[in-house]
DNA sequence: TATTGTCACGCAAACGGTTGCGGGAACGAT
DNA sequence: ATCGTTCCCGCAACCGTTTGCGTGACAATA
């Protein structure tokens, strides 16, 4: 396991130069002559020199590592964002360390702290659902750049990247209206969730714009938006006297639960009740009928998050940036709302 | 962004001790009296001291980072392994940096090298399909501990962790035989793949043990095992004169493709043709009929991989370990083979 | 010739923590 | 009184790289 390290000193000795000259040559410092620079670089190359990352970080207080925290790494959409993050970080010369909070607020703040201690240059976080107390997160802000993505919170003064939930939801509802639906239910989250609220307001706005009555009886809020809850709420919606003719679940998994119970009761989709979800998860083309949903360009979100984070990291100014970036999601129309 | 660092020196000054004493106190060195140790630890705690990771790594040549390389981060099974890896690494005090090779051999070796340069303490790798030339990987072995998981290769002399593919496949086939199937097709990979071969040999052994004729016409090999290939091969299997009465796809996605085309041709599952997959992906309960498949305990694999890796990292001896660890997978019987 | 400027490079300190070695104090044994 | 031990602790070197400052050589300018 012992390895003869190739260091600046060694190169300097061979070339009869000082380590500082070698260092500067490798970093293209203008003080060093072209000839020397070339000579040094060639030897370094041939000796397979790699700078000692610790010594470097030690001196420069830079790790070239960014930390990423996500609630649940097994969600398909999350992995697409991670893919974007990894790719963009790689081209920018950053490494990525990932942690999973399991939607546990305590774990989340613990991870934030661990990452800070560890010396990451910046943090990308997708918050847990119930992140109500911001007090644990605020201290981070003036120690290391932080950017929120996907699951964000407007209470935290930092730049945030999401998809245009409101507009996307608006489009989804408008689509339902266009195919003739007049009584559209929504299944959303009860606990305050930034994205849920955004999608809900898109829903409301679309109904208003089209002069459709808003009925609270078909506005369903659940604690955790999941497949099982989708099934339960579909059961509930079927039991009320004036049944909806369309259901918008703000999550694909809930939408799939809805579809499964509608099928159990032999309800025609989309003729009797149309269903639309949100995420374009990989499940949405496996379920039958295939699910109409909003595609979220995860890779794009990930890439953008990294781009803005590195911008902050490498910026010399110390001001807290506070941009809101929205990435456009696209409605994908499939069999659950439209039969050819 | 500037932050007053709390260093050993500062603590030493306050307590009128030397930095070495403080350092030793914090590391429970026996040379330091209990009283001093306690005093130092208390102050360090109250001052919120965190050791500078770079200085530490610089001295000790230890980063407490392990690198993980996977072919595709968006596969559900992969994420479950990652979850196990992250969890186990966290409790052991290690950070994890993740890279995605996208099944690109060049990228894979590049990543291995990058990670090494970066100073990871060890590497966990799940290989790309076509990793034929081991030459790029072998040099890694005597520089940093390497462990393969899931997608392994017996050509590389290092410890490897998989599920017991052969036995699991054997059980799956035996199950098909037990429900009365006598002509069982398999869809496997053409390119040499360790897991595919293992599953195939489990298939062969089960057939032999039950005196069932092996017919090469229903042993299908494909380049890339995918949903689309599943569809194609199902079409092919339906076209031959002696149709199979069961299809074992060595991958859930292929199995789902099979189910979709069988349904298209109104073939009863499982009465006419039963289907079993492998992975217990999240799709397997969305598809209808629900898919019988082998559950792979991803978290367990991940945790074990980390455990063995850290063992190697922290071992003083330099011998290359070369264990083969098999984690047991469980057959999960669902509607695609068994109707209640 | 004297002064100033530029170029190309070396010296040495600094980053924060670890560790081999050495040394003083206290104490018991001789 | 001397010696040997043991217990605690400090000194200083060291890890590899970066960087402010200094310097000698040489050319340009006055």
- Tell me the per-residue pLDDT of B73-82, one tens digit each, with 9 for 90 and over: 999 999 999 9
At CA B271, angle to CA B270 and CA B276, rounded to 5? Answer: 25
Q: Could you check whether A60-163+298-327 and A165-296 share the same CATH topology? A: yes
Of all nucleotides, the one whose C1′ comes closest to residue B12's CA is D10
Which of A77, A88, A95, A255 has the highest number of chain B CBs within 10 A, making it the mutation to test binding with B?
Answer: A95
Nearest to B96 among A53, A97, A286 (CB): A97
Summarize the confidence of residues A144-155 as an average pLDDT: 92
Q: What is the pLDDT of residues A213-252, one digit of tens each?
A: 999 999 999 998 999 999 999 999 999 999 999 999 999 9
% of chain A exceeding 90 in pLDDT: 80
Residue extents of the structural domains in chain A:
8-51, 60-163+298-327, 165-296
Q: What is the pLDDT of residues B78-127, one digit of tens each?
A: 999 999 999 999 999 899 999 999 989 999 999 998 888 788 999 999 99
Would you say residue B281 has pLDDT above 80? yes
Summarize the confidence of residues B191-196 as an average pLDDT: 85
Is the CB of A20 within 7 Å of strand D?
yes
Query: Considering only CB atoms, which chain A residues are within 8 Å of B80?
Result: 74
Contacts 24+ apart (CB under 8 A), B47-53: B47/B6, B47/B10, B47/B11, B48/B6, B49/B6, B49/B7, B49/B11, B50/A117, B50/B6, B51/B26, B52/A58, B52/A119, B52/B5, B52/B7, B53/A57, B53/A63, B53/A117, B53/A118, B53/A119
**Between these two residues, A202 and A320, which has the higher pLDDT value?**
A202
Range of lowest pLDDT (A70-84, A313-327, B183-197): A313-327
Q: What per-residue confidence (pLDDT) applies to A4?
A: 61
d(CA B318, CA A128): 43
Query: Considering only CB atoms, which chain B residues are within 8 Å of A60?
Result: none
Query: Considering only CB atoms, which chain A residues are within 8 Å of B99?
Result: 86, 90
At CA B171, angle to CA B170 and CA B172, rounded to 5? Answer: 90
Q: What is the pLDDT of residues A6-17, one digit of tens each?
A: 899 999 999 999
**pLDDT band for position B168 (50/70/90)?**
very high
- What end-to-end distance do the CA atoms of chain A give, in Å? 64
Name the residue of chain A whose CA is nearest to B141's CA.
Answer: A1
User: Strand D: which positions are within 7 A of a protein CB?
Assistant: 7-12, 14-21
Summarize the confidence of residues B2-25 as an average pLDDT: 87
Q: What sign for the dihedral angle of Cα A232, A237, A241, A245?
A: negative
Would you say residue A201 has pLDDT above 50? yes
Class of the CATH domain delimited by B65-163+298-327:
alpha beta
Instruction: Kindly state whether B39 is in contact with chain A, defined as any CB-CB distance less than 8 angstroms.
Output: no
Instruction: Kindly state whether A286 is in contact with chain B, defined as any CB-CB distance less than 8 angstroms.
Output: yes
DSSP state of B217: G
**pLDDT band for position B142 (50/70/90)?**
confident
Query: Å between A6 CA and C18 C1'?
Result: 22
Q: What per-residue confidence (pLDDT) applies to A340?
A: 64
Residues A4 and A40: beta-carbon distance below 8 Å: no
Domain A60-163+298-327 of CATH type 3.40.50.2300: yes
Query: Considering only CB atoms, which chain B residues are within 8 Å of A54?
Result: 54-55, 57-58, 61, 63, 119
Q: What is the pLDDT of residues A254-301, one digit of tens each?
A: 999 999 999 999 999 999 999 999 999 999 999 999 999 999 999 999
Q: Hey, what are B269's tokens?
A: 């599952």
In this complex, do A73 and B79 lie within 8 Å of one another by their Cβ atoms? Answer: yes
Q: Say which CATH topology domain B165-296 has.
A: Rossmann fold (3.40.50)
Q: What per-residue confidence (pLDDT) applies to B318?
A: 65
Query: Å between B36 CA and C22 C1'?
Result: 21
Q: What per-residue confidence (pLDDT) applies to B2?
A: 41
Would you say residue B30 has pLDDT above 60? yes
Q: What per-residue confidence (pLDDT) applies to A318?
A: 65
Instruction: Kindly state whether A293 is in contact with chain B, defined as any CB-CB distance less than 8 angstroms.
Output: no
């Amino acid at each position: 396991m012992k390895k003869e390290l190739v260091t600046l000193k060694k190169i300097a000795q061979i070339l009869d130069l000082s380590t500082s000259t070698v260092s500067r040559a490798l970093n293209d410092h203008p003080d060093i002559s072209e000839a020397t620079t070339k000579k040094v670089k060639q030897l370094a190359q041939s000796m397979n020199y790699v700078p000692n990352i610790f010594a470097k970080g030690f001196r420069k207080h830079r790790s070239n590592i960014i930390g990423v925290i996500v609630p649940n790494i097994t969600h398909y959409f999350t992995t697409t964002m991670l893919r974007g993050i990894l790719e963009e970080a790689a081209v920018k010369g950053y490494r990525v360390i990932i942690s999973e909070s399991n939607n546990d607020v305590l774990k989340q703040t613990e991870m934030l702290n661990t990452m800070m201690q560890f010396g990451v240059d910046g943090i990308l976080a997708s918050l847990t659902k119930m992140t109500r107390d911001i007090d644990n997160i605020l201290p981070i802000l003036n120690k290391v750049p932080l950017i929120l993505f996907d699951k964000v919170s407007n209470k935290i003064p930092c730049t945030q990247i999401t998809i245009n939930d409101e507009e996307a939801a608006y489009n989804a509802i408008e689509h339902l209206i266009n195919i003739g639906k007049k009584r559209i239910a929504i299944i959303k989250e009860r606990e305050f969730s930034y994205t849920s609220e955004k999608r809900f307001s898109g829903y409301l706005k679309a109904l208003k714009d089209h002069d459709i009555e808003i009925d609270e009886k078909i506005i369903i809020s659940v604690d955790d938006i999941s497949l099982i809850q989708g099934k339960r709420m579909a059961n509930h919606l079927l039991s009320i006297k004036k049944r909806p003719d369309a259901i918008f679940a703000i999550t694909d998994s809930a939408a799939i639960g809805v579809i499964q119970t509608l099928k159990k009761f032999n309800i025609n989709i989309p003729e009797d009740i149309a269903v639309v979800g949100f995420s374009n998860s990989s499940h949405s083309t496996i379920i039958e009928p295939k699910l109409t949903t909003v595609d979220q360009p995860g890779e794009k979100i990930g890439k953008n998050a990294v781009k803005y984070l590195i911008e902050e990291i490498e910026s010399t100014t110390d001001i807290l940036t506070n941009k809101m970036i929205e990435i456009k999601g696209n409605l994908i129309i499939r069999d659950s709302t439209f039969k050819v």
